[in-house]
A and B are shown apart, each in its own frame.
Chain A
Amino acid sequence: MEEPTTDPHAEETAPSEETAEATNVVAGVPGSVPAPSTEDVTMVIWRGDEHGGEFATYHLPAQEGEVVLDVVHRVQATHAPDLACRWNCKAGKCGSCSAEINGKPSLMCMTRMDSLPPGEPVTIAPMKTFPVIRDLVTDVSYNYEVAKRIPPFEPRPKTADEEAAGGYRMAQIDVERSQEFRKCIECFLCQDVCHVIRDHEENKTAFAGPRFFARSAELEMHPLDVNDRRELLREQQGLGKCNITKCCTEVCPEHIKITDNAIIPLKERVVDASYDPIAWLGRKILNRSKRTAREAAASAPSKGPAAIQPSEPVSGVPVAGGD
């Protein structure tokens, strides 16, 4: 018998030969056990805690129209009541049930079983970037710590007209840019997939990650905000470490264009703030106008649009991948 797989993200993710005790739980590599009927689904789910664990295999009857989370719930109800997973809304609105389904960071509630290869086992592992608490539940407190370090929203004062009208005036087109980022449901899949922290634990102390670059972009582009986060982004949040591979954008269940619409414009603003001569030349050539948040606020209610064309990576790291 092989050693149990202690890392849910080891290269070989074949289920262990350990036999689960519950009836209906058929352990082992799919195919090595009496073949389930074609109407069955086979779930290969990582079970364990911070000390290690292994994949367990569950066979269940298929049901029409199910998502992965439904099947996980059925495993809980009938096979493994202590199988840990997070969930709340079951409709892609709360961002709780993040996991890696067949290796891809996804929401379990929005992944339909019929979107996965038919007849093949479905492998579910916890997010790799965060420490495992138990089974599919990870310790995502890193994200809540980063959130605390972002300078908060600080609105400009109301104009006399706004005081009279009882509220700020902003044009729909101006709020829409930040609204894109405010769609974020904080599932942290973008953080999970980001190789800067996925493969380098040591980077976590000085890297905010795509979710919080999007948050900073949202604030920087907010028509009312006057706080300036650019220096912080460069010096403490590791914006330069992002080499815009767009992995975050690819996994975002809200389809937020994190790289194109948040990170690249932020990189430009940060470059602007640090007077990079090459970027300055680039802007001259491309004739782009830039304003700081404060300058923009001075001419509120409308800020100048952020350029969304890619620029030179700030850190000098070559641009890799992209789509």
Chain B
Amino acid sequence: MPDIETHDFDILIIGAGGAGLRAAIEAQAKGMRTALVCKSLLGKAHTVMAEGGVAAAMGNVYSEDNWKVHFRDTMRGGKMLNNWRMAQLHAQESPDRVRELEEWGALFDRTKDGLILQRDFGGHRYARLAHVGDRTGLEIIRTLQQKAVADGLKVFMEVKVLRLLRDADGVVSGAVAYRRPTGEFLSFSAKAVVLATGGVGKSWMYTSNSWESTGDGHAMALWAGADLIDMECVQFHPTGMVWPLSVRGILVTEGVRGDGGVLRNSDGKRFMFGYIPPMFAAETADSEEEADKWYDDHTAGRRPPELLPRDEVARSINSEVKAGRGSPHGGVFLDIASRRTPEDIRRRLPSMYHQFKELAGVDITAEPMEVGPTCHYIMGGVRVDADSTAATVPGLFAAGEVAGGMHGSNRLGGNSLSDLLVFGRRAGEGAVAFAEGRTGSVSLDEAEVAAIIDAAVAPLQREGGENPYAVHQDLQRTMQSLVGIIRTGSELEEALGAIEELEERASAVSVGGGIAYNPGWNMATDLPSMLTVSRAVAQGAINRKESRGGHTRDDFPTPDAEMGKVNFVQRIEQPDAAGVLGTPSVRTIGVGPEPLPVMPDELAALFEEAH
């Protein structure tokens, strides 16, 4: 073994957002020696940015709500590509997960009779999102963080995991990582590993995601031989900030629309009435008068088209801008100023008020916001067993954004925070069950550890190579322009070619300075995952020759019934040979359609009922 810091745990959890923390709390509660590893400081993960709320059919505002309605909304929002069992578990268990947070100290906003208040969001039939103003993610991550700290969880902060390791039988046995502040390498052996690494947004130019969202978990799972599914399904959130340029992509919560905000084009017209798809026509208002009645009483009118699922709204905004009816900086207008009192806006949306005031110099109580689509979330991810979250490689589990299936081809707002809680807990349980059943000692292959470290330090030793930031910027340009919100076959092929070139360039970058807290080097070690994930997204997008949810093909503009019955699965040919970026085995990603799990009749019947 190279002379590095070594650790041995029962359960290793990678990622300390909502899913990782919830998994850790579960594993810890079951008496497992548990380690939580995160790239940033504890409490800074991307969960902290979630704004609007956590979806759970508690029925506190509309007693008609129940898990079946939530399940149906989720499946329809995902255009039926979801793993039905995940969607079912999610809808059934999220109310308990939210109440449990309250028992751990979370303070959600209240209804008049003192219960947890719930707000409206796109695609949800009833007001269903438990929330704290527009900072729900902060409340959730802080609650979980404080619970985990109180339980004595061992946390490794600012540690980047490079690769997963498998034993001779192909069972995942640990990981190699480095400490960002010092550059020191460390290895973890563990009986089970949970991936909770979040998303992939940093491969695009305009994204709501932080620097951490480099798809490490997606890539490491693939490199370890696990299956990924639905990687073409990327959500562009309809409302990101568009101006100033430096804040372009930063999220504007859907809560603005849930609380009465409307979208207008440069003519001042509420254009969403022109974009109601047949699938949602029966439940969507067709006049402003009807839509406006709905906010106060959901039985008085049908829901406003501004609250259609995110894929529909994002595409509509895109079309308006393309047609020349956009705002001065290439977005559209999101107007709540003319619809609610300044007092209400500041109370319900304090952080949006703050964000626009300080970053854009815009007072949202007096003027409209300029917004446009921003790369926000990947529905695709590690293929898992719904109940245990087990990946297709033994010993590996995945929860939260890194896992695929739950959200189908499009995620509803609010379903991510609930996903984290439901499947974070299940991942903890699943990993514990696996660890308990694992016999024999867990050991790591020294040569493999050494090879991973050698590959990681190469950019520091190489001279005269390219700056990794330049490669990253070109990757972002490629993905933004060729694998963006609207795609076409020829551009996707072009993207694959460009990614191949970028892979060559990434394998030859060099970085100046030392190994301690060196963002240039950190970027160089993030590039392999970003490139692997970008390739997987482009490859998936080539194969799905239809438009569905977050995947829109200009050359195949409608859904295809047959394609709606399959997942596109990706895996690499020789997982363990894929140690170094640029080796042909990493590029050879197998892609094939496999049938979706079939929904039992009693659940299928829910989709035949009238609403």
B398 CB, nearest partner CB in chain A, Å: 22
Judged by a CB distance under 8 angstroms, whether B358 is at the interface is yes
CB distance from A162 to the nearest CB of B (A): 9
Docked-complex contact B104 and A134, CB < 8 angstroms: no
| Proximity string of chain A (220-260) to chain B, C-beta cutoff 8 Å, 1 when within and 0 when not | 00101100000000000000000000000000000000000
- In the complex, whether B543 has a CB less than 8 A from a CB of chain A is no
A63 with B41: in contact, given A152-B146, A167-B116, A182-B142 (CB under 8 Å)?
A: no
Interface residues on A, range: 35 or more
Output the nearest chain B residue to A186 by Cβ-Cβ distance.
B43
Q: Could you tell me if A171 and B110 are in contact, using CB atoms closer than 8 angstroms? A: yes
B351 at the binding interface (Cβ < 8 Å): yes
Stretch at the interface among A172-180, A287-295, A310-318: A172-180
Q: A209 an interface residue at 8 Å Cβ cutoff?
A: no
A184 to B142 Cα, complex, angstroms = 9
A89 CB within 8 Å of chain B:
yes
Q: How far is it, in angstroms, between the C-alpha of A179 and the C-alpha of B107 when the chains are bound?
A: 7
A86 interface residue (CB < 8 Å to B)? yes
Known: A89-B49, A179-B132. A225 touches B105 (CB 8 A): yes
Is A301's beta carbon under 8 Å from chain B? yes
Q: Contact: B110 with A91, CB < 8 Å?
A: no
- Beta-carbon contact of A88 and B246 below 8 Å: no
- Chain B residues, Cβ within 8 Å of A96: 40-41, 44
CA–CA, A53 to B191, complex, Å? 44
Nearest-CB residue, chain B, relative to A147: B149
Contact B138 A183 (CB under 8 A): yes
B181 touches A66 (CB 8 A): no
| Structural contact, B110 and A170, CB atoms closer than 8 A | yes
**What A residues does B48 contact at CB under 8 A?**
88-89, 93-94, 185
Q: Does A65 lie within 8 Å of B512, measured CB to CB?
A: no
Q: Is A67 in the interface zone, CB < 8 Å from B? A: yes
* Chain A residues in 8 Å Cβ range of B210: 87-90, 94
Residues 65-84 of chain A: 1 if any B CB is under 8 Å from the residue's CB, otherwise 0?
11100100000111001111
CA A67 – CA B248 in complex, angstroms?
12
> By the criterion CB–CB under 8 Å, are A81 and B523 in contact?
yes
Q: Is the beta-carbon distance between B114 and A88 smaller than 8 angstroms?
A: no
Residues of B within 8 A of A148 (CB): 149
Question: Does A153 lie within 8 Å of B105, measured CB to CB?
Answer: yes
The reply to whether B211 and A88 contact each other, CB–CB distance below 8 Å, is yes
- What CA separation (Å) do A96 and B467 show in the bound complex? 25
Q: Which residue of A lies closest to B43 (CB)?
A: A186
Check if B95 sits within 8 Å of A137, measured CB to CB. Answer: no
Best-buried of A49, A65, A78, A137 by chain B (most CB within 10 Å): A65
Tell me, yes or no, whether B328 is within 8 Å of chain A by CB: no
Query: CA A208 – CA B338 in complex, angstroms?
Result: 45
B32 at the interface (CB under 8 A from A): no
**In the complex, which of the residues A90, A144, A179 contacts B42, with contact meaning CB atoms closer than 8 Å?**
A144
Q: Which of A134, A137, A153, A167 has the most CB of B within 10 A?
A: A167
Query: Are B516 and A133 in contact, CB atoms less than 8 angstroms apart?
Result: yes
Contact residue among B49, B132, B139 (Cβ-Cβ distance under 8 Å from A94): B49
Contact A182 B132 (CB under 8 A): yes
Chain A residue at smallest Cβ distance from B116: A167
Q: How many whole Å from B41's CB to the nearest CB in chain A?
A: 7
A85 to B48, CA, bound (A): 19
Q: Who on chain B is nearest to A148 by CB?
A: B149
- Report if B67 contacts A (CB, 8 A): no
Residues on B with beta carbons closer than 8 Å to the beta carbon of A133: 181, 516-517
Cβ contacts A159-197/B at 8 Å (1 or 0 each): 000000111111110010011001111100000000000
CB of B585 within 8 A of chain A? no
Decide if A64 is an interface residue (CB 8 Å cutoff): yes
Number of B residues, CB within 8 Å of A: 70
> In whole Å, how far is A211's beta carbon from the nearest beta carbon of chain B?
12
CB contact under 8 A between A165 and B115, given known A76-B469, A83-B519: yes
**In the complex, A133 Cα to B179 Cα: how many Å?**
12
Q: A91-B359, A92-B354 are in contact. Are A82 and B518 (CB under 8 A)?
A: yes
B587 within 8 A of partner (CB): no
A139 lies within 8 A of chain B by Cβ: yes
CA distance A139 to B514 in the complex (A): 18
CB distance from B299 to the nearest CB of A (A): 23
Contact A175 B246 (CB under 8 A): no
A82 to B48, CA, bound (A): 27
Query: Chain A contacts of B218 at CB under 8 A?
Result: none
Given contacts A65-B244, A166-B58, A169-B114, contact A185 B138 (CB under 8 A): yes
Which of A85, A168, A183, A186 interacts with B102 by CB under 8 Å? A168
Q: Are B468 and A81 in contact (CB under 8 A)?
A: yes
A170 touches B132 (CB 8 A): no
Chain B residue at smallest Cβ distance from A187 = B44
Q: Which B residue sits closest to A110, measured CB to CB?
A: B358
Cβ contact of A84, chosen from B114, B138, B361, B519, cutoff 8 A: B519
A87 to B519, alpha carbons, bound, how many Å? Answer: 11
The answer to whether A112 has its CB under 8 Å from any CB of chain B is yes
Determine whether B135 belongs to the interface, using a CB cutoff of 8 Å to chain A: yes
B109 and A172: CB pair below 8 A?
yes
By beta carbon, the residue of chain A nearest B110 is A172
Q: A167-B102, A167-B116, A172-B109 are in contact. Are A93 and B135 (CB under 8 A)?
A: yes
**B310 CB to nearest chain A CB (Å):** 19
Q: Is B520 an interface residue (CB 8 A)?
A: yes
Chain A residue with the shortest CB-CB distance to B241: A91
In the assembled complex, the CB of B1 is this many whole angstroms from the nearest CB of chain A, namely 27
Please state if A178 and B107 are interface contacts (CB–CB under 8 Å): yes
Partner pick for A153 among B43, B44, B104, CB 8 A cutoff = B104
Q: Does B521 contact A (CB under 8 A)?
A: yes
Tell me if A82 and B135 are in contact (CB < 8 A): no
- Residues B185-238 near A (CB distance < 8 A): 210-212
CB contacts (< 8 Å) of A137 on chain B: these are 181, 517
Decide if B512 touches A81 in the complex (CB within 8 Å).
yes
B569 within 8 A of A: no
By beta carbon, the residue of chain B nearest A255 is: B354
Whole-angstrom distance between the Cβ of A85 and the nearest chain B Cβ: 7
B251 contacts partner chain A, Cβ-Cβ < 8 Å: yes
| Interface residue A140 (Cβ < 8 Å from any Cβ of B) | yes
Q: Which residue of A lies closest to B469 (CB)?
A: A77
Chain A CB count within 10 A is highest, among B43, B150, B355, B519, for: B519
With a cutoff of 8 Å between Cβ atoms, the chain A residues found around residue B116 in the complex are 167
The answer to whether A169 touches B113 (Cβ under 8 A) is: yes
Q: Is the CB of A82 within 8 A of B115?
A: no
**Chain A residues with CB below 8 A from B467, complex form:** 77, 81
A81 and B44 in contact, given A65-B247, A166-B99, A175-B110 (Cβ under 8 angstroms): no
Shortest beta-carbon distance, B202 to chain A, in Å? 12
Minimum CB–CB distance for B49 against chain A, Å: 5
* Cβ–Cβ contact B360 & A65, under 8 A: yes
Q: Give the complex CA separation of A171 and B115 in angstroms.
A: 8
Q: Which residue of B lies closest to A141 (CB)?
A: B157
Chain A CB within 10 Å — which of B48, B107, B245 has the most? B107
Report Cα–Cα, A169/B99, bound state, in Å: 11
**Complex Cα gap A89–B135 (Å):** 13
Complex Cα spacing A149 to B264, Å? 51
Task: Give Cα A90 to B209, complex, Å.
Answer: 9
Question: Could you show 25 A-B contacts with beta carbons less than 8 Å apart?
Answer: A64-B245, A65-B243, A65-B245, A78-B469, A81-B467, A82-B520, A84-B519, A85-B519, A88-B48, A90-B247, A92-B355, A94-B48, A110-B358, A110-B359, A112-B358, A112-B359, A134-B181, A152-B146, A153-B150, A170-B110, A170-B114, A172-B109, A175-B108, A178-B107, A183-B138
Known pairs A70-B246, A88-B45 / 5 extra A-B pairs, C-beta < 8 Å: A89-B49, A96-B44, A144-B157, A152-B146, A185-B48
User: What are the 4 closest A-B residue pairs judged by CB atoms, nearest first?
Assistant: A65-B244, A81-B520, A82-B513, A169-B114
